[in-house]
């Protein structure tokens, strides 16, 4: 079956010469053919993601066209403006895929609003809402290595597509022949017919206004003398982040030169993920050189941001996603309370795998902190519920431990641009009162207890990887462990049972241990890996970390 599909591709006019060469190069190599054609990339709620190349199990113009035909079929049933917004980041083939998606939509009689240069996830979410679109498409593979690209689909509210809509799209994709099934017209023809138009300056400026309106202490950053090193990691953050920082008065910004401009090969960091040290290394070297107060890095599609903060002894320390989530929550609550801008009955939202330290901070300020499933769309869903009730102003902040933050309801996905602005404003504020982010974080730990959160990933590569992961999750459900690393399991919460959790069904298990620690087990929806999230607490970091290490040692055999 897969050999027949391979031959069909080999004989077709594939337009992209890279694909033809790759197909000829693997002729006679059954394993290579099987790997590319035995399965098709799955269209899930996050859309598509895979390595670039030829075949149904790769990211290429044909798979993009097929997916877009599925989106077009769904849009045509939705009424409304019959419009789709498109953006793309610095990934290889990004503009090609964005143009091809536009061509498929136009051939289906659907209007397109596409950015004329690469722009981040929040800009796509904003444009989808601004133009009252039926859907949005973001061509990105987020923080994956250079050989990947992907395709995220968004609903009319600018939030990632719901499970129900994605299921309809996937059904349509399966009925669309990958090489011949999608309608298509050239980008030029779409423009000529008035179906494809660029996103206007009015939309771009409205986004910057919306972001800057989320300042907590407007004007403060102008006078604080903050010194910043910033890296867009060769992605989309350069223009929007520096523009917003300049607007709020932060002008002493040194850009990491090797990572300044778009480069889909990510030559200076093979894994452009601000969660990991290697991605921040160049920035840290530069921060030490210029004596920066803060070093900041956004991932290629600028929806996540990682930082390193300067410590009193002059060294730099990385801040985890959980720590930054808590710092921002505390800063927003304290600042808005002080300024009298805190709404009545404020609401913050975090993913259930994020730190319980945030619960303590929220309680201190009388903020309702809602817990949702992993994935920022669930935070977006909470904003949508508040909006439907006419109470959208109650939403002050949302975050997840994987370095995603949002302050304000103007978009429905994580936004590294607003997060960068608030992190810098926060650093400027603490600097202005003779403190620092590091010192304030220590104060929070002294007040609420020393929490320690760590995530371990277990990879299951190859075609059988997903089956192995499913087997592990099935075993954990059929025979739940009574203890983990010698600690008694006090409670098990299975998020596949909505009737018990009150949340949508999810393949997640939470183990609460008698000593107050917890372990959450969750398979990734986009990659062949299972993640274990540990939370421990101690009198100091050493004690909390030792508890985590003992716990991880006891849990590891489950994934062997």
Active site residues: 142
DSSP, residue by residue, 126-182: HHHHHTT-SEEEEE--TTS-TTEEEEEEE-TTSSBPPHHHHHHHHHHHHTS-TTTTS
Cα–chain center distance at 255: 23
Among 268, 81, 72, CA closest to 169: 72
In contact, 349 and 369? CB cutoff 8 Å: yes
CA distance 149 to 386: 34
Contact 384, 159 (CB under 8 A): yes
Q: Hey, how many other C-beta atoms are within 10 angstroms of the C-beta on 319?
A: 20
Say if residues 54 and 14 touch (Cβ distance below 8 Å).
Answer: yes
Residue 222 gets which letter from DSSP?
G
Side-by-side strand order, sheet with 316-319: 253-255, 228-231, 294-298, 305-310, 316-319
Cα 320 to Cα 448: distance, rounded to the nearest angstrom: 17
Residue 235 contacts residue 138 (beta carbons within 8 Å): no
Residues 6+ apart with CB under 8 A from 45: 160, 161, 162, 163, 166, 375, 377, 525
> Could you tell me which of 133, 127, 138 has the C-alpha nearest to residue 236?
138
Give 174's contacts (C-beta < 8 A, 6+ positions apart). Answer: none
Helix (H, G, I), strand (E, B) or coil at 453: strand
Q: How far is residue 112's CA from residue 20's CA, in Å, rounded to a whole number?
A: 30
Pair 283, 229: CB distance under 8 Å: yes
Quick check: 130 and 158 in contact, CB under 8 A?
A: no
Residue with tokens 């419009």: 83
Q: How many CB atoms lie within 10 A of CB 541?
A: 12
- Dihedral sign for Cα 388, 392, 394, 397, please: positive
- 221 DSSP assignment: G
Torsion of CA 182, 185, 191, 196, to 10 degrees: 0
Q: What are phi and psi of 218, to 5 degrees?
A: -55, 140
């Amino acid at each position: 079956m897969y050999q027949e599909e391979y031959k069909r591709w080999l004989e077709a006019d594939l337009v992209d010469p890279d694909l033809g060469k790759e197909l000829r190069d693997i002729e006679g190599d059954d394993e290579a053919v099987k790997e590319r054609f035995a399965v098709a990339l799955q269209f899930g709620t996050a859309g598509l993601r895979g390595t670039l190349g030829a075949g149904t199990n790769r990211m290429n113009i044909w798979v993009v066209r097929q997916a877009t035909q599925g989106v077009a079929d769904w849009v045509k049933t939705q009424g409304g403006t019959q419009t789709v917004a498109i953006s793309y980041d610095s990934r290889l083939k990004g503009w090609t895929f964005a143009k091809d998606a536009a061509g498929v939509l136009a051939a289906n009689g659907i209007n397109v609003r596409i950015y004329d240069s690469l722009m981040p996830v929040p800009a796509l979410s904003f444009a989808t809402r601004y133009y009252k679109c039926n859907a949005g498409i973001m061509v990105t593979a987020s923080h994956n290595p250079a050989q990947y690209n992907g395709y995220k689909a968004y609903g009319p509210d600018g939030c990632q597509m719901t499970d129900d809509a994605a299921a309809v799209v996937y059904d349509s994709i399966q009925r669309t022949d990958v090489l011949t099934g999608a309608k298509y017209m050239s980008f030029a023809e779409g423009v000529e017919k008035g179906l494809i138009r660029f996103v206007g300056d009015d939309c771009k400026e409205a986004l910057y206004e919306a972001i800057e309106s989320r300042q907590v202490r407007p004007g403060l950053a102008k006078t604080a003398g903050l010194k910043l090193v910033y890296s867009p990691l060769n992605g989309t953050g350069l223009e929007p982040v520096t523009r917003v920082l300049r607007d709020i008065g932060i002008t002493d910004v040194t850009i990491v030169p090797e990572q300044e401009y778009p480069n889909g090969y990510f030559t200076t960091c093979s894994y452009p993920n601000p969660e990991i040290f290697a991605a921040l290394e160049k920035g840290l070297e530069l921060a030490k050189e210029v004596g920066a107060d803060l070093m900041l890095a956004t991932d290629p599609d600028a929806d996540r941001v990682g930082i390193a903060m300067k410590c009193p002894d002059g060294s730099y320390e990385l801040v985890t996603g959980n720590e930054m989530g808590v710092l921002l929550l505390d800063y927003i609550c304290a600042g808005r309370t002080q300024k009298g801008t805190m709404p009545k009955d404020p609401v913050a939202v975090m993913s259930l795998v994020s730190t319980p330290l945030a619960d303590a901070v929220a309680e201190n300020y009388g903020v309702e902190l809602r817990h949702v499933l992993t994935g920022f769309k669930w935070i977006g869903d909470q904003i949508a519920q508040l909006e439907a009730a006419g109470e959208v102003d109650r939403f002050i902040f949302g975050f997840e431990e994987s370095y995603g933050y949002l302050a304000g309801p103007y978009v429905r996905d994580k936004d590294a641009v607003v997060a960068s602005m608030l992190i810098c404003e926060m650093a400027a504020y603490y600097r202005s009162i003779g403190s620092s982010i590091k010192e304030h974080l220590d104060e929070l730990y002294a007040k609420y207890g020393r929490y320690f959160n760590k995530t371990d990933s277990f990879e299951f590569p190859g075609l059988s990887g997903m089956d192995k992961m499913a087997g592990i999750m099935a075993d954990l459900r059929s025979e739940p462990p009574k203890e983990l690393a010698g600690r008694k399991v006090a409670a098990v919460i299975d998020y596949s049972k909505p009737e018990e959790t009150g949340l949508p069904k999810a393949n997640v298990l939470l183990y609460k241990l008698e000593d107050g620690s917890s372990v959450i087990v969750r398979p990734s929806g986009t990659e062949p890996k299972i993640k274990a999230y540990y939370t421990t607490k101690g009198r100091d970091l050493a004690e909390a970390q030792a508890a985590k290490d003992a716990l991880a040692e006891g849990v590891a055999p489950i994934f062997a």
